Amino acid sequence: MTTPSVPAMMTRLLLHPTVTLLCCLGLMLSSLPASAKTLVLAQISDRPKKDFRQLRPMADHIQSLMAHQGYDRADVELFPDIESLMSAIRQGRVHWVSETALTSAKLVQAGLASPVALKWKRGQAEYRSLIYVRKDSPVETLADLQGRRVAFEHPNSFSSYYLPAIALKQAGLNLQQLDTPTSSVAPDKVGYIFSRNERNNLLWVHKSIVTAGSLNDGDWQHPQRLPESPKQAMRIIHRSAAFPRAFELATSVLSREERQALKKALLSLSPEEHANLLARYEQTERLTPVTQEHTTLLQQLDLSILP
């Protein structure tokens, strides 16, 4: 609905009336009989157009599988931040969320959703967070980053915000959020700034705008996601442990049966039979059942360190 050149911030601002309208529509629909129910799939997104396109076919498919539950239509709702998403869940407008571990943990810990499937997003069942500097950088360890700037990707990012921030804290460093990439940093802190995407993250480091950057290993290894030559000029100084890539969550809006139905529907998708459908669904390779470990991780993930 807007040109691709419009910055994401503006897009988000423009999305507000739409979201409100959709919320109202959801309220209206929820009061309708079972025969006229809409299955709503939601996600936090700063790229609504792309994400909408990626989510829509899967929403339609799952709705068809859950028709017996009275869902005769499907819809995709995208929210700019966790707060609006949680609010929408609370209002009963969202039935199904597909998110990474951080958002999933927030929703689970808020009692708004429970995981129903592990999502092999971009072919990954799990991934790690990486912290890297330029090869010619004097920085060798995380501790060397004190008084320097680090670029994270996104405040909702698990792999490029939560995990590296945890790592830096665990290395005994204090974080300081910066307004701009060039803002100065207190000497006793590590300044951080969100690069919005992996490419900015790499280039900032490469152009020495920031000293270090943080990305997940999926993005790092993907050949087309990052330019090769800057990447070759980087040295990784930290790798986190592996974490689940993404989850499919049933919100508290769904009834128990409906949750089971959603879980069943999602897990019914075969990587071979529904390869196309899955590939379009954020390059998902397959959907696998959630293990106890996963559930525990989501429930116990320490969210306090986040601002």
Residues lying near another protein in the complex (CB under 8 A) are found at 4-10, 180-182, 196-197, 199-200, 203-204, 206-207, 209, 227, 229-230
Least separation in angstroms between CB 206 and another protein: 7
| DSSP element (H, E) containing 163 | helix 163-170
Least separation in angstroms between CB 11 and another protein: 11
Residue 206 or 222 having the CB closest to another protein: 206
Q: What is the CA radius of gyration of the chain?
A: 20
Residue 177 or 182 having the CB closest to another protein: 182
**Share of the chain residues as helix, strand and coil, in percent rounded to the nearest 5:** 45, 25, 35
- Give the CB-side neighbour count of residue 272, counting CA atoms within 13 A: 0
Q: How far apart are CA 137 and CA 132, in angstroms?
A: 10
Q: Give the tokens for residue 78.
A: 């995208």
Least separation in angstroms between CB 238 and another protein: 23
Report which DSSP code applies to 160.
I
Residue 5 or 276 having the CB closest to another protein: 5
Residue type, 63: Q
Residue 231 or 239 having the CB closest to another protein: 231
Count of beta carbons in the 10 Å neighbourhood of residue 253: 21
Residue 209 or 275 having the CB closest to another protein: 209
Contact 169, 142 (CB under 8 A): no
Residue 12 or 280 having the CB closest to another protein: 12
Least separation in angstroms between CB 192 and another protein: 14
Least separation in angstroms between CB 148 and another protein: 16
Least separation in angstroms between CB 68 and another protein: 44
Torsion region of 22: left, alpha or beta (phi above 0 gives left; psi -120 to 50 gives alpha): alpha
